[in-house]
Chain A
Amino acid sequence: MRDGAPQLQAYRIATAGPGSRAALAIACMILILLAVLPAFAGRNLIQDLIFLFYMLALAQCWNLLAGYAGLISVGQQAFVGLGGYILFALTLLAGLDPLLAIPLAGVASAVFALPTALVVFRLRGAYFAIGSWVVAEVYRLVFAQFKGLGGGTGTSLVPSITSNVLGIEWVKSMFDVRTPAARDIISYWAALALMATTLGFVYVVLRSRRGLALGAIRDQEAAAAGLGVDIYRLKLAVYVATAAVTGMVGALIYLQKARISPDAAFSVLDWTAYVIFIVVIGGIGTIEGPLIGAIIFYLLQRYLADFGAWYLILLGTLAITVMLFAPRGLWGFVAERYGVTLFPTRRRLVSGAGKGKGG
């Protein structure tokens, strides 16, 4: 196709720049630091970080759904609760090790997500949002019927399960801690691994061919379809994949909490409203946004959560203000102003023949 056309200047397509390569290196270093942190940090910090990690993983999932695939779901609590309940069923009723139950909860969530999608995908746009919420309510009401898992009042994990997690003896002797602290450390590593995997997964997906298609859907769905993007399949794939991750996060959350009830596990406030808040405040449609949003949310939660209703009113006001005056969130504001990206997914034309496709 390019034969015959006068070649004025050679261009290549690049996604990364020197700044983002440095950011990747720093991210890897931070990851290693976080991995060895339990050797120095106290139990409170470890517990706070577990919370931060799982909220961040949930936020990255919701960001991929709403920020890229155009699936604004208000029903992701369906998969948090599902994952939690499957962990409880597999450990309490089937006697499985909790660490093994976490990936299985992810698989089960994906399996449930498929028929769920067939129904809710019939609704579009804003109607999809409320439809996904209805489905989450159906899950909540159905799980409230399982008497073996405590029915409407819920149930707890017995200590013999939580104290015999894979590798707990090793952690106890390695860090010289007692069982509860060792449990936290194992949950911490699981949360860190899940968060890092989610981040890596989203990054890789967005830089792939499918990521380009997702970006096209985000920008203009009809045009993307016109260019041959199979929108339904791609959305379905994103929905199922994020359901799997959300289910694993849910399993981890309820392993850490060791107590589950339908109202808490399928709470729209805890597992969807907060998550939306994180993504929107930080900046929807970017990888950096949820990262920043999660840290801000963690700080607000830590210092203001005692104010109860006032705290939630403040969160609501903040979300509305950001949506009206800085719709691309804090990171969008910074990125636009200073032109920086840490996890670049946008393809840019760079002059000079160079090495071909940039890394």
Chain B
Amino acid sequence: MTGWLDALIQGILLGGLYALFAAGLSLIFGVMRLVNLAHGDLIVLAAFIILLLAEKLGLDPFAAVLVAAPVLFAIGFALQYALLNRTLGRDLLPPLLVTFGLSIMIQNGLLQLFSADSERLRSGAIETASIALGGGIAIGVVPLLTLLSAIAVIVVLNLIFYRTPLGRAFRAASDDLEVAQLMGIDHNRIFATAMGLAFVVIAIAALYLGLRANFDPTIGPARLLYAFEAVIIGGLGSFWGTLAGGIVLGLAQTVGARIDPEWQILSGHLAFLVVLGLRPRGLFPRAVD
């Protein structure tokens, strides 16, 4: 019984990580209807950037991410402004293909620079610290911080979207691009800002990815799939839905792993397919498309 309760708690905490993966994907889809196939590889790239900063500057990963975030914002802004904006339009293929190409380039670029060895972000005692809940159940501090950070990210994103002029521009561009342009919105800048913001979320996701487990250049595509599944399970267009989707996915994986360790990933995918079969628009849908 304790084992199952433990699996439930760990599943919810793991869901926090998946919600962080998914929040960036959800954000750029919400603003510019762009599905970024390189999203997972960008998370891994960000983890390597944090690792590099931590090693070269002798920083703790939590401090390194503060240095990495503005850098990643700039990279995201430039990527969208110079490259991805040119692919947006009625045809679906160009954005998909360009981000798929980027995914392959990032993976192999990282392989070339960092080799295929597993890496990990080191942050001293906090990595293994845990809080005992009694009854033989303990929760790790890092997994708990992951979930809390996911909630914080979603609160901040919602504030930006619904309480600021920038968020108004995001929503306007998302609802009707042409009218938004008529109202004087420079959509290229707005889209680039949204991508920059998504890259900051990616930096936070990368921090916890690297603190919780080993990573290497090839694990990006699997993270993309988890992020995507969380977005679809939760329902398009709602950040809280994305958190719920992440938690459903995390629960499915830990419960599956509890039955047979080899089934962890498979049961996550199957949960996604079941939700898709029963509720194709997700559990908490908002956007139409």
Contact = CB atoms under 8 A, between A and B. Distances in A.
Contact of A316 (B96, B104, B262): B104
Contact of B269 (A141, A316, A319, A320): A141
Given A122-B276, A130-B35, A134-B225, A324 B98 contact: yes
Contact of A145 (B37, B107, B262, B277): B262
A315 B100 CA distance: 11
Q: Is the interface of B mostly helix, strand, loop or mixed?
A: helix
A125 B92 contact: yes
Interface stretch (B4-12, B47-55, B108-116): B108-116
A134 B228 contact: yes
A323 B83 CA distance: 11
A49 to B, nearest CB: 26
A130 B224 contact: yes
Contacts of B103: 316
Nearest to B225: A134
A284 B269 contact: no
B232 A123 contact: yes
Contacts of B111: 309
B255 to A, nearest CB: 16
Interface in B75-117: 83, 86-87, 91-98, 100-105, 107-109, 111-112
B108 A320 contact: no
B270 A317 contact: no
A320 B86 CA distance: 11
Interface residues of B, number: 42
B265 interface: yes
A317 to B, nearest CB: 7
B191 interface: no
A323 B101 contact: yes
A122 B275 CA distance: 11
A309 B112 contact: yes
Contacts of B229: 134
B151 interface: no
Interface stretch (A21-29, A53-61, A83-91, A268-276): A268-276
Contacts of B35: 125-127, 129-130
A137 interface: yes
Given A276-B100, A323-B87, A323-B101, A130 B276 contact: no
Interface in A291-329: 308-310, 312-313, 315-317, 319-320, 323-324, 327
A268 B100 CA distance: 11
Given A134-B273, A141-B265, A313-B105, A273 B100 contact: yes
Contacts of B102: 316, 320
Given A138-B273, A141-B266, A317 B228 contact: no
B76 to A, nearest CB: 17
B104 A276 contact: no
B101 A317 contact: yes
Interface in A252-301: 268-269, 273, 276, 280, 284
Best-buried of B94, B95, B100, B107 by chain A (most CB within 10 Å): B100
B98 A323 contact: yes
Interface in B252-289: 262, 265-266, 269-270, 272-273, 276-277, 280, 289
Interface of B: 35, 37, 83, 86-87, 91-98, 100-105, 107-109, 111-112, 221-222, 224-225, 228-229, 232, 262, 265-266, 269-270, 272-273, 276-277, 280, 289
8 contacts: A70-B92, A127-B35, A129-B37, A130-B225, A134-B228, A134-B272, A138-B266, A320-B97
Interface of A: 66, 70, 72, 74, 118-119, 122-127, 129-131, 133-135, 137-138, 141-142, 144-145, 268-269, 273, 276, 280, 284, 308-310, 312-313, 315-317, 319-320, 323-324, 327
